[in-house]
Amino acid sequence: MRDFQGYGRMPPDPQWPGGARVAISFVINFEEGAEASLSAGDAHNEKVYEVTDEVTGVPDRCMESHFEYGTKAGWWRIADALQRLGITATVSSCGLAAERSPWLIRDAVGRGHEIACHGWRWERHAHMAEAAEREAIARTVRVLAAIAGTRPVGWHTRSTPSPNTRRLLVEEGGFLYDSDDYSDDLPFFVEVQGKRHLVLPYSFDTNDMHYHQGFHRFVTARDFTDYVADAFDTLWSEGAHHPKMMSIGLHLRMIGRPGRIAGLDRAVAHMRAKGGVWFASRRHIAEHWIGRFGSVG
């Protein structure tokens, strides 16, 4: 059943650590190697990217090499920037991407980042059969846990989840939260089969995806900075009375480009200059929320 009211005019006070007005969640989406490609035996090539040509019948090396840029160069640029800035992020990883580049997950863990689930493949779950989806969830958990050394506790589906996704996550057990929602500026609980489950909303607007996907709303590094800074300023102002949460989505092959990475540095510098901000992984935000407002399950 859809909820159009949410918290209304009086959202709960999360009492973020240090009295922060805004909790900032950076999410690095790791999808490289999990996208569709004929060379991997798929029925089609991935077509969501900066390039607009759709290649059929043969492997799309243009598309594949753009994705490969993410692991070859983009990851190091983003990871080094966040380390320099002293920020812990959530690496939302496809299971197959991690299996093909396990070194990236190990490097992320070594830097203190959370590893969360982003599906087995970079694919939509909307029409996935229940048995296939259940196995995709379990397989993603197994692979990421084996590589990272710790079981992932978060989930985010590409595009829309299926009608079964949240229930299957609860049945799988071990998840603190999912991010298959875009409806609020604060976490909230939902009931799934009589159990309490936490949702950490995500965002597509404060997201480097706008360099791509045919929109090209962001062109320069400063476009990203300006939009993210404006969003932060609004939440920071509101946070004087009602502290909020802000999600910022990053992709290796997107903001990891040399002409765009400066936008990340500038956005963080702007936030630090204003103060009243808590940079945290989604796991840390979920644990804080649960500690303040009650357990899940």
Residue 193's region, left for phi above 0, alpha for psi from -120 to 50, else beta, is left
Question: Going residue by residue through the chain (297 aa), what tens digit of pLDDT does each one get?
Answer: 899 999 999 999 999 999 999 999 999 999 999 998 898 888 888 887 766 677 888 888 888 899 999 999 999 999 999 999 999 999 999 999 999 999 999 999 999 999 999 999 999 999 999 999 999 999 999 999 999 999 999 999 999 999 999 999 999 999 999 999 999 999 999 999 999 999 999 999 999 999 986 667 899 999 999 999 999 999 999 999 999 999 999 999 999 999 999 999 999 999 999 999 999 999 999 999 999 998 887
Which residue ranges make up each domain of the chain? 17-42+53-293
Beta strand pairing call for 22-30 and 244-251: parallel
Amino acid code (one letter) for 14: P
Long-range Cβ contacts of 283-288 (<8 Å, 24+ apart): 283/90, 283/114, 283/116, 283/153, 283/154, 283/176, 284/88, 284/114, 285/23, 285/25, 285/187, 285/200, 285/245, 286/153, 286/154, 286/176, 286/177, 286/187, 286/198, 286/200, 287/176, 288/14, 288/16, 288/17
Write the single-letter amino acid at 284. Answer: H
SS3 sequence of the chain:
CCCCCCCCCCCCCCCCHHHCCEEEEEEEEECCCCCCCHHHCCCCCCCCCCCCCCCCCCCCHHHHHHHHHHHHHHHHHHHHHHHHHCCCCEEEECHHHHHHCHHHHHHHHHCCCEEEECCCCCCECCCCCHHHHHHHHHHHHHHHHHHHCCCCCEECCECCCCCCHHHHHHHHCCCCEECCCCCCCCCEEEEECCEEEEECCCCCCCEHHHHCCCCCCCCCHHHHHHHHHHHHHHHHHHCCCCCEEEEEEEECCCCCCCCCCHHHHHHHHHHHHHCCEEECCHHHHHHHHHHHHCCCC
| Domain at 17-42+53-293: CATH code | 3.20.20.370
What's the rounded Cα separation, in Å, for the pair 10 and 291? 20
Model pLDDT for residues 50-78, shown as the tens digit of each residue: 666 778 888 888 888 999 999 999 999 99
Selection from 46, 48, 94, 43 nearest residue 71 by Cα: 94
